[in-house]
Amino acid sequence: MDATTVEKIKTAMDYERARNGPPEGFPALKPIPSARYVDPSFNKLEMERLWKRSWLYACHMDELPEQGSYFLWNKLGSPILIIRGKDDVVRAFYNTCRHRGGPLVKEPTGRRTLFVCGYHGWSYDHLGNLVAIRDPRDFPEFDKSCLGLIPVKCDTFGKWVFINCDEDAAPLSDYLGPVETEMAEFQPQNLRLAHKAEYDINCNVKVLLDAFLETYHLKSIHQQTVDRFLDHLGTTIELWPNGHSRMVTPNRRPEWKDPGSRGLPQLDTVGEIARDNNVSYNIYPNIVCPPSPTGMPFIVFWPKTLNSMRLECIWFSPDWGDGPLPEIWETRIANFERILEEDTQFAPQIQESVESDGFKGIPLSYQERRIYHWHEELDRRIGKGNLGDELRVVPLLEPYIETPRDARAAE
């Protein structure tokens, strides 16, 4: 994070603490239509136009430790095989044999020299090429080169592996934009996978995701935890293209440090904003990441059905050297899970409310504008012509979306 951005954030936090209302000219946000959380037709559009056309986190390179390693990813209904090839390049393919649809692998992880369908023995190499079939005499004029595995777009940011089912998607780096630039100080190329956990929650994925895009709730549900050390009134927000955003919330005491991270190795490249405040990135559409010098989680939100979701929490750490993960991580993760339980406690009841006749929409405050930004981007992905007025969010925030200068170009 360059010096100009640091000073801009500091000035913005002072402004946020002192203001008596939204900035002059900032529009009153229109209510988010309630049907977006319960309507099956909207849910179908969201799945096809957003989830299946976005760059999504899939795995960490620690889960592909050597050439031939694979990771089986299936969060959206289409099983995808992610392979670290003999050239160390990571590629992704649908886990679907081109003969009659048999799976190439069934185990979630492993290592193969060839990927052989267990149904009829068709074999594929690390590049997805069909290299052998059983009984070739019975396939006259057969061209194996036309029946390789169907690829899925795959790319990496540091050691984080992303996939995108849209074959026309822009490159990952272009998509991430300022997220990639700012998060470079956390050395994603050196972070190790520390811990993974998943939680099933009975609510629409947006019900819970909305809650992680604002600090308005801190004084209600985090009274004994987060609200004790974060000053939500000083929160500053930046909205970025492609739906991404960044939120910075100052510590109540500048010298405060997370007791659950004391004694852990630290990244010496992390600047003062993330060192002395709480930073939270939304990597659109479904990652919330509050990074720190001692590591970070990816809190990843996945839709299951119209009224259920899965929350995936993945922790990354600076290199801790040889041996197992330091024991202090048990305390750190336990503290995090306590906060997570507070965040998720009302989700099933909120889902019941949004399905009731008494729920008419969501009126949002200036503090909650990241939610509105998220929904505006969703509508851009779906397309105006595919939504009726009863489902559409009124576009208001485009003048407030910032395109930061590329810090690399400024050096």
pLDDT per residue of the chain (411 residues) written in tens, 0 to 9:
889 999 999 999 999 999 999 999 999 999 999 999 999 999 999 999 999 999 999 999 999 999 999 999 999 999 999 999 999 999 999 999 999 999 999 999 999 999 999 999 999 999 999 999 999 999 998 999 999 999 999 999 999 999 999 999 999 999 999 999 999 999 999 999 999 999 999 999 999 999 999 987 777 788 777 767 788 889 999 999 999 999 999 987 776 666 666 778 899 999 999 999 999 999 999 999 999 999 999 999 999 999 999 999 999 999 999 999 999 899 899 999 998 999 898 999 999 999 998 898 999 999 999 999 999 999 999 998 899 888 999 999 999 999 876 444 444
Contact predicate 57/316, CB 8 Å: no
Among the three residues 157, 187, 205, which one is the final residue of a domain in this structure?
A: 157
Report CA dihedral (111, 112, 113, 115) to the nearest 10 degrees: -150
Residues 272 and 143 in one domain: no
Give residue 256's pLDDT.
66
Contact 232, 249 (CB under 8 A): yes
Q: Would residue 392 count as lying in a domain?
A: yes
Report d(CA 231, CA 365) in Å as an integer. 17
Task: Look at the pTM and tell me if it is higher than 0.75.
Answer: yes
What's 170's DSSP letter?
A: P
What is the longest distance spanned by two Cα atoms in the chain? 80
Q: Could you give the number of structural domains in the chain?
A: 2
Task: Kindly state whether residues 135 and 250 are assigned to the same domain.
Answer: no
Q: What is the pLDDT of residue 259?
A: 64
pLDDT at 408: 40
Name the one residue in this structure whose structure tokens are 């119209």: 306
What pLDDT score does 360 carry? 87
Question: Do the Cβ atoms of 315 and 195 come closer than 8 Å?
Answer: yes
For residue 72, what is the domain's CATH number? 2.102.10.10
Q: Among the three residues 95, 125, 157, which one is the final residue of a domain in this structure?
A: 157
> What region does 177 belong to: left with phi over 0, alpha with psi -120 to 50, or beta?
left
How high is the pLDDT of residue 406? 47
Structure tokens given for 247: 């939120």
Instruction: Specify the CATH number for the domain of residue 316.
Output: 3.90.380.10
Parent domain of 117: 56-157
Residue in 214, 252, 215, 258 with CA at minimum distance from that of residue 230: 252
Instruction: Looking at the structure, tell me whether residues 15 and 92 fall in a common domain.
Output: no
399 found inside a domain: yes
Q: Is residue 168 in some structural domain?
A: no
Predicted confidence at residue 79, as pLDDT, reads 96
Cis, bond preceding 285 (omega within 30 deg of 0): yes
pLDDT at 219: 78
Residues 46 and 60 in one domain: no
Tens of pLDDT along 189-226? 999 999 999 999 999 999 999 999 998 777 778 877 77
Give residue 228's pLDDT. 73
Cα dihedral across residues 30, 31, 34, 36: positive or negative = positive
The answer on 216 and 150 residing in a single domain is no
**Domain membership flag for residue 375:** yes
Position 404 scores a pLDDT of 72
